[in-house]
Amino acid sequence: MALLTSTQHINEIHIWSQLRHENVIPLLGIVTKFDHTVSMVMEWMERGNAHEYAQDVTVDPRPLSLDIAHGLNYLHSLEIIHDDLKGTNVLISGAGRPLTTDFEFSYQSNPSSGPNAERSRGGSLPWLAPEIT
């Protein structure tokens, strides 16, 4: 994970802390006692991420895709753009439900609804929309 500036941390915490959906992993809190940085706390997901989980031939990826789409629809209903959605940023719960995480490069498309943090272009190059690369 890239080292974040304090503005990026504030933006990520602000966005993530307001999210409540069955396909978005909840932010449990923050800790500042490790290496003098801000660490965000979430539940540990033993099944790992969606990219690795879907490599198992016994896993049907179609329900995962539908649940990921439900979580993305929820984010968009709040005018939140994830900006780095990929298999490694979706964790799998013990029940096999995909949970979107990693809001490091997320932003609100309506900046009047939250802190007006400068939007940084981030994410993984292979997953970025062609118009912003």
Measured in whole angstroms, the distance separating CA 5 from the mean position of its chain's CA atoms is: 17
Active site residue 83: no
Measured in whole angstroms, the distance separating CA 11 from the mean position of its chain's CA atoms is: 13
**Global pTM?**
0.78
**Quick check: 133 pLDDT over 60?**
no
CA distance linking residue 105 with residue 103, whole number of Å:
6
Encode pLDDT of 12-29 as tens digits. 999 999 999 999 999 999
Instruction: Provide the H-helix boundaries in the chain.
Output: 6-17, 50-53, 61-77
Encode pLDDT of 91-120 as tens digits. 999 999 999 999 988 998 876 545 444 445
**Quick check: 5 pLDDT over 70?**
no
Query: Catalytic: which of 35, 67, 84, 102?
Result: 84
Domains of the chain, earliest start first = 6-111 (1.10.510.10)
- Average pLDDT of the chain to the nearest whole number: 84
Dihedral angle over CA of 85, 88, 90, 94, nearest 10: 180
Percent over 90 (pLDDT), the chain: 59
**Quick check: 129 pLDDT over 80?**
no
